[in-house]
Amino acid sequence: MADITPAMVKDLRERTGAGISDCKKALVENDGAVEPAIDWLRKKGLAAAAKKSGRAASEGLVGIASMPAKAAMVEVNSETDFVSRNEAFQGFVHAVANVALQVGENLDTINAAPFPGTGRTVAEELVHLVATIGENMNLRRARVLSVPQGAVASYVHQALKPGLGKIGVLVAVEGASEIAALETLGRQVGMHVAATRPDALDTNSVDPAALEREKVVLSEQARASGKPEAIIEKMVEGRIRKYYEEVVLLEQVWVHDGESRVKAVVQKAGAKLTGFARFHLGEGIEKEVGDFAAEVAATAGLAKPSA
């Protein structure tokens, strides 16, 4: 029997998109011959993912899993919204969120972790799911929050099922209050975050580069008014405060009453927010806009109809 090297397995995986263990088995079954191994994977339905790996995946689900004082959130993408209603896909997202809860938010670590009840890794199970459902899918991102004392609350906007939806939020709340009270506060903050999309927890957490860009823009706008530099400086200071109210969670107006600041609501509850995360499904992914006529013509082997 031919020696199966890691390089051979890597090459076969890159060519087929199949899982590492499946690639190794295919090479063993075919005495190290690559082309027969590819055919073996195709016959098993394990190489189907390769043909789909280049297609845009901007739909799917955000999934959340929780335990005391800790929660995890993942985003798993698919090509169509239809797949998000597939029970196998929903089960995969739910399971991956639970894996992240145990191993952390590093994607490589999650992908290498065992997928419950299959004997495969998370990455291998995803390839298997792609081959089964017939769409490109990927685990895009994950976030895990925890607190030493308190609760990590979660909120899913318009959830399809508990812990599964299109917009998910985690909020870490520390405090000595009853856990139920902290979770209620955290869920309310989660609803606020889902609606307002803050960029940072507090003013110290604002991206310095983004803040500097904002100052430059505001300075130029103020300078165009012809005001003296001393007045311009004060104008910019005032506008930066307004900028903070837009992008900083603790400085925002509480959506639940339209007048309080989030920081005042949290302080009144005797709690402290130490972190948050917001996943909006597909944000930042450019969706492909296909030419349907051209696609049909290509499938039929015909030229695209002229306009």
Q: Quick check: is 304 in a domain? A: no
Q: So what's the pLDDT on residue 96?
A: 98
Q: What percent of the chain has pLDDT over 70?
A: 87
Mean pLDDT calculated for residue range 5-21: 79
Q: Check pLDDT > 70 for residue 62.
A: yes
Kindly state whether residues 127 and 263 are assigned to the same domain: yes
Q: What is the CATH number of the domain that holds 140?
A: 3.30.479.20
Residue 274 shares a structural domain with residue 225:
no
Whether residue 86 contacts residue 76, with contact meaning beta carbons closer than 8 Å, is answered with no
* pLDDT for res 251: 96
Q: Which segments within 147-294 are labelled E, that is strand? A: 150-157, 164-165, 167-175, 271-280
**How many CB atoms within 10 Å of residue 90?**
19
Q: Which residue has the higher pLDDT, 6 or 42?
A: 6
CATH of the domain at 22: 1.10.8.10
Report the C-alpha gap between 161 and 89 in whole angstroms.
12
pLDDT > 60? residue 306: no
Q: Are 188 and 181 in contact (CB under 8 A)?
A: no
pLDDT over threshold 70, residue 299: no
- Is residue 230 pLDDT above 90, yes or no? no
User: Which residues have CB under 8 Å from 230's CB, separation 6+?
Assistant: none
d(CA 272, CA 264): 11
Q: Which residue spans within the chain are E strands per DSSP?
A: 59-67, 70-78, 137-146, 150-157, 164-165, 167-175, 271-280
Residue type, 154: S
Pairing of strands 150-157, 137-146: unpaired
Read off the pLDDT band of 195 (50, 70, 90): very high
| Cα–Cα distance for residue pair 244/122, rounded to 1 Å | 40
Residue 304 has pLDDT above 50, yes or no: no
Give the up-direction half-sphere exposure of residue 3: CA atoms within 13 A in the CB hemisphere.
3
Claim to verify: residue 37 and residue 88 sit in the same structural domain: no
Quote the radius of gyration of the chain (alpha carbons, Å): 25
Residue 270 lies in a domain: yes
Mean pLDDT of 226-252: 87
Same domain, 101 and 75: yes
10/19 Cα distance (integer angstroms):
10
Q: Which tens digit of pLDDT belongs to each residue from 70-103?
A: 999 999 999 888 889 999 999 999 999 999 999 9
Give percent helix, percent strand, percent coil of the chain, each to the nearest 5: 50, 20, 30
Based on the fold, state whether residues 14 and 87 are members of the same structural domain: no
Name the domain count of the chain: 3
Asked whether residue 141 falls in the same domain as residue 151, the answer is: yes
Residues 72 and 199 reside in one and the same domain = yes
Q: Let me know whether 118 and 183 are in one domain.
A: yes
Other residues' Cβ atoms within 10 Å of the Cβ of residue 178: 10
Give the domain extent around 262. 59-203+248-280
187 in the same domain as 86: yes
**Secondary element (H or E) of residue 196:** helix 179-196
How many residues in total does the chain contain?
Answer: 307
Average pLDDT, the chain: 86
In terms of domains, do 190 and 217 share one? no
CA pair distance 200, 181, nearest whole angstrom: 24
